[in-house]
Amino acid sequence: MTNQYVKKVLIVGGGISGLTAAIALKKAGIEAEIVEKEKEWNVYGVGIIQPPNALRALNEIGLADECIKQGTPYSGFDYYTGEGHFLYHGVSPTVEGYPGVNGISRRKLHYILLESVQKIKTKIHMGTTISTLKQVANGVSVELNSGTSQTYDLVIGADGSNSKVRELIVGSIDQQYSGQGVWRYTLSRPKDLENGIFYYGKKAKAGLVPMSDREMYLLVTTYEPGNPKLPADQLHVLLRERLAEFGGAIAEAAKQVTNANEVVYRPIFTHLIPSPWYRGNVLLVGDAAHGTAPHLGQGASIAIEDVIVLADILKHNLSISETLKAFMEKRFERCKLIVKNSDQLVEWELQTWNSEMKSDVNIGMYVKETLEKMNEPFLTELNLQ
């Protein structure tokens, strides 16, 4: 069915959610254009964890199998003490047809999406972003930094945690600093590493996450009070210092951290925009609406879900106001769950490192129950009454 209300869409941001949005909209019969502020593709990050709900969402646009093919599926994570003593194997909750976890490099995921966008001939304007947005009778008048202006039926802000679209429609927001930083570093994957692993130290958590048959990445969260500005040319030294307490596989991995330019570090900030995430015909999705700590591996997953759900609702040929209202009904509480539960895991880690953790907290069960909740169907029938 052709949507009589939405025929022309502008997507701001060419990251995971923006590219996914273009593919999902095309499948729904809606043409979209993408503006991306970078002049060339520069994929930030190292690797990514894809739980079953992310794969199920990607399957809606026919890309789940390709992600598994180019990544590496496994059942879950093995957990150790900081010294390297085995604690237990955690099997990640799954649904029929999908592995508990699929690890993949962000670059590979980006190019899987980009290739699909190119096949459907979506226009991508590189080195371009929006200057102004103005609601008009027939949609949204958009002025780009190139000086051109066009009117769109719908504008999707998929431009990340520091969203320009959000600034224009909501204003500035306070992103909450978690007290932690996250470090990533690409390494060769040992042949005997069958699952992901995590070591719980006294002042940090460190893990090895497979992302192909040959590659894995080191994932470390550390206590970084005051959000210090770390010198870029010393990041490899600083990371090794933070890994000094660890034994076993993490100690071996730390020896391979030798290049500051290969260390990806960022302080962890979180935010959740109150409902609704839209003003008029302008909608925020992904990190623009909900920035989460990485502790549940769900940030990209819920960003992908956002735009898959939006495209699914658009198939019902509702008015834009009805479409966006239905979108919020489906997305807000689910995304809130991930932001809040991830914040809780950060808090418990900090309490553990400061010897303040309560003895009755079962982190493993908390994670398992949250991921089981995320495995529930996210594409459900609309209540159109």
Q: Which residue has the higher pLDDT, 95 or 141?
A: 141
Band of pLDDT at residue 383, cut at 50, 70 and 90: low
What does the pLDDT look like over 222-273, one tens digit per residue? 999 999 999 999 999 999 999 999 999 999 999 999 999 999 999 999 999 9
Provide the pLDDT for residue 359: 87
Provide the pLDDT for residue 210: 97
- Percent residues over pLDDT 70 in the chain: 99
Q: Which residues have C-beta within 8 Å of that of residue 151, sequence separation ≥ 6?
A: 8, 136, 138, 139, 140, 141, 142
Contact between residue 77 and residue 324 where contact means Cβ atoms under 8 Å apart:
no
Band of pLDDT at residue 285, cut at 50, 70 and 90: very high
Backbone angles phi, psi at 342, to 5 degrees: -65, -40
Question: What's the CA gap between 58 and 53, in Å, rounded?
Answer: 9
Q: Does residue 128 carry a pLDDT above 70?
A: yes
Task: Give all domains of the chain, ordered by start, each with its CATH number.
Answer: 8-72+101-175+270-344 (3.50.50.60)
Can you tell me which residue has the tokens 């809780």? Answer: 344
Please indicate, yes or no, whether the overall pTM of this predicted structure exceeds 0.85: yes
What is the three-class DSSP state of 118?
helix
What does the pLDDT look like over 132-180, one tens digit per residue? 999 999 899 999 999 999 999 999 999 999 999 999 999 999 999 999 9
Band of pLDDT at residue 6, cut at 50, 70 and 90: very high
Provide the pLDDT for residue 1: 58
Question: What's the CA gap between 202 and 342, in Å, rounded?
Answer: 20
What is the three-class DSSP state of 273?
coil
Question: What's the CA gap between 381 and 247, in Å, rounded?
Answer: 50
Band of pLDDT at residue 51, cut at 50, 70 and 90: very high
Q: Which amino acid is at 341?
A: N
Q: Does residue 361 carry a pLDDT above 80?
A: yes
Band of pLDDT at residue 384, cut at 50, 70 and 90: low
Mean pLDDT of the chain: 95
Provide the pLDDT for residue 43: 79
